[in-house]
Amino acid sequence: MRQIKIAVAAVAAVVALSSCFGPLSETCLSGRVCPRGMRCASDQDVCVPDEGNGTCGNGRLEPGEQCDDGNVETDDNCLFPTCTVAFCGDGVVNDAGEPDGGHREQCDDMGESATCNRDCTLSVCGDSKLNTTAGEQCDFGPTDTITCNHDCTFRSCGDGYANGAAGEQCDDNTIHMTACPYGQRSCVACPNCDGYVTLHGPFCGDGQVDTVDAGFEACDDGNNVTETSCPYGPGTCTACNADCTAQLSLTGPSCGDGVVNGPSGTEICDDGNTQNETACPYGTPVCTTCNSTCSAALHLTGHYCGDGNVDAFDGGVEACDDGNNVTETACPYGTPTCSPCNATCTTMLRLTGPVCGDGNVDAAGAEACDDGNTDSCGTCSADCKKLQIGAATGKIFAVAHNLLNDGEVFILSDGTSTRVFEFDKGPLLPDGGPSIDAGAIRVFVGSNDAADTVAGHIAQQISSAGLRISAQANSNQVNLSNTDVNSGSAGNRPIIETVNAGQFIVDGMSGGGGLDCPPGTGCESDQDCLPPLTCGGDAGAVTCQ
C-alpha cells in the first residue's frame, strides 16, 4: 500500500514539473499549479491526472466512478486511482477506512489464507473464526472447550495437551504406555488422561538382557561399570561393559595366583596353588608354603640329595645318598675301599683311600712316614706316625777304682761285632801282658782313678775296639752311639756287665730302627729289610726279598 502512495506522489511531481510552462494549467486553492493534463485534488494539496472523461480525486462523482473522496489515498474507503469502493476481498488492504461507515482491513488476500481470515482480519487461533487454511480444526475462542483445545485442534485424550475444560488432568501422548522406554529406570505416564501413574522400564544394568525397543543388549551384569578384573575369588569371570554392548572375559585375584591379595582377599600368603602341602619339593631342605585357602603359612621340611636317605621323588629315585653333596674322589684316610655317592645322588662310586702301610706319606692321616707295612719293623712305626730309622744309643755310668774288681767285664755289640771289655787294676803279668782273659779288651784302672777318669778309660777303649760305636766321656758318663745308620735295629743289643758295684749302670744299646723286616714284608727301601734282604718286586707288591 505504501509503495502505491509513493508511486502516485512521484507521478504528480513529474506532471507538475513538466507542465510549469504549458498551457491550460490549473491553480489549486493552496496556490499549487497543476500542469496541463493534471487537476487539483479536492481534499488534498496534490495534482491528479486528468483522464479526459473524468478525474478521480477531484471530489466529483463522474461517470465510471463508484466514488470520489477527493484524495489520492489507496487505503481508505474509496480507492485511488480507480475511484472504486473498497471491499474485503478486493486484494487491497484498506487500513485507513473512514470512521463514517468505512471499515479498516488488517489484511486482504482476496479470500481466506493461512494468515488472513475471510473477513480480512489477521488469522489468529482463538479469534473464534475457523480458518482451515491456517490449519485450524476448530476455533471457539482463546480458551479450551470440551471439543476444542485452545490451540484450535480437536480435543482427544492422547493429543498431548491436557484440556481442563474436558476434565483432563494430564495428556502427554503416553496413553498406550505400559512401561518406560528402554534406558529409563522409572517414568510417569498418563494412560487415561485422568492422572499420572509411575511406570518402570528396562535399562542397561537391570540384570536382564533386554531386546525390546532400542535395548538390544549383548549382555547385562546388573551394573553400569566396565569392569577390568573379576572380584576376588573365582580367578576368571564373564562381565559386561558399561553400556551393555559387549561381553568381557576377565581374570581376577584369587587364592593360588601367586600374589598375596588384600585387602579384599585378606590373604596371609599365596604359593601359586590351592593345595595343603605336607613336605617341601624334593631338593628343598626347608620351605614355607601356604595352605589351600591362603589363610596360613606352612613351615615344612623336605627330602634332598645329601640327607642320608635314598629318596623317591617326582620322576625317579635316588641311586644313593651318603649324607652330603660332594663327589668324593677317595675314601677317608684309614679306609682302603669305600662306596660313597656322587654329588647329585645319581651314581654310587667305587673308591680307594689312603691308609698307613700303602707306601705313601698321607697328609690326610698326618703320617710322618710310610714304609709300606703296618708292622713295627722297617723305617717307620706301625702307625706311620714316627720315622724310626736311626742308630742305636746307650750309656755307661762309671765308678771309681775302689768300686771295681779285677776281672769284672761289660760286653758291647754293634749288631754285627761283639767285644768283651775287662777291668784290670793290677800289675802286668811276668811276661809283660795284662792279667785278663783271652780275647777281652783291657780297661786299666789306676789305684787313684776317680769315676770320671775311669769313664775316660772306658770311652778310649771302646773307640779303639773296632766296633761301629762311638764313645764320648762326659764326667762319669760314657755316651754311646752306633756310627753306622745302616745298622738300624740290628744295633739294639743289650750291654751286659758283671760289675758288682750298684753305682755302675749300663743303658742300651737301644733306639735303633729299620733294617729288620723279614722276607715278604712290604717295604719302601732296602733300609726296611733285614740284611742281606733287599726291597723289590712288581708295582703294588714290593716286599723284602
3-state secondary structure of 398: coil
Judged against a pLDDT cut of 90, whether residue 43 lies above it is answered with: no
Q: Across-strand partners of 239?
A: 248
Averaged over 195-222, what is the pLDDT? 88
The pLDDT score that the predictor gives to residue 41 is: 84
d(CA 407, CA 161): 172
d(CA 127, CA 494): 170
Least confident of 75-84, 373-382, 440-449, 499-508: 75-84
User: At a CB cut-off of 8 Å and minimum separation 6, what does 219 contact?
Assistant: 209, 238, 240, 241, 244, 246, 247
- Mind listing the pLDDT tens digit for each residue in 45-59? 899 888 767 788 888
The pLDDT score that the predictor gives to residue 20 is: 41
DSSP 495: P
The pLDDT score that the predictor gives to residue 14 is: 38
> Which single residue is written with the C-alpha cell 714316627?
386
Instruction: Find the DSSP H helices in 250-291.
Output: none
d(CA 351, CA 339): 6
Contact 255, 273 (CB under 8 A): no
| 265 vs 459, higher pLDDT | 459
Element (H, E) at 6: helix 2-18
Residues in the chain: 545
- Mind listing the pLDDT tens digit for each residue in 469-488? 999 999 999 999 998 766 78
Averaged over 62-78, what is the pLDDT? 87
Q: Where are the domains of the chain?
A: 2-85, 393-510
Least confident of 24-33, 406-415, 427-436, 500-509: 427-436
Q: Residue 199 has which C-alpha cell?
A: 511406570
The pLDDT score that the predictor gives to residue 16 is: 41
d(CA 320, CA 344): 9
The pLDDT score that the predictor gives to residue 75 is: 77
Phi and psi torsions of 44, nearest 5°: -140, 150
pTM of the model as a whole: 0.45
d(CA 290, CA 279): 11
- Mind listing the pLDDT tens digit for each residue in 105-137? 899 999 999 999 999 999 999 999 999 999 999
Residue among 258, 313, 316, 315 at smallest CA distance from 283: 313
Mean pLDDT (the chain, rounded) = 88
Share of the chain above pLDDT 90, in %: 64
Angle made by CA atoms 407, 413, 419, in degrees to the nearest 5: 40
Beta strands at 247-251 and 236-240: parallel, antiparallel or unpaired: antiparallel
Under CATH, which number does the domain 393-510 receive?
2.60.40
- Mind listing the pLDDT tens digit for each residue in 293-316? 999 999 999 999 999 999 987 777
- Mind listing the pLDDT tens digit for each residue in 243-271? 999 999 999 999 999 999 988 778 999 99
158: left (phi over 0), alpha (psi -120 to 50) or beta: left
The pLDDT score that the predictor gives to residue 99 is: 41
DSSP 427: P
Judged against a pLDDT cut of 70, whether residue 390 lies above it is answered with: yes
Share of the chain above pLDDT 70, in %: 92
d(CA 285, CA 441): 82
Confidence of residue 103 (pLDDT cuts 50, 70, 90): low
| 388 vs 323, higher pLDDT | 323
Radius of gyration of the chain measured on its C-alpha atoms: 78
448-to-141, 400, 402, 434, 524 alpha-carbon distances in Å: 187, 8, 8, 19, 54
Q: Residue 81 has which C-alpha cell?
A: 486511482
d(CA 477, CA 396): 6
| 54 vs 13, higher pLDDT | 54
Count of other CB atoms within 10 angstroms of residue 165: 15
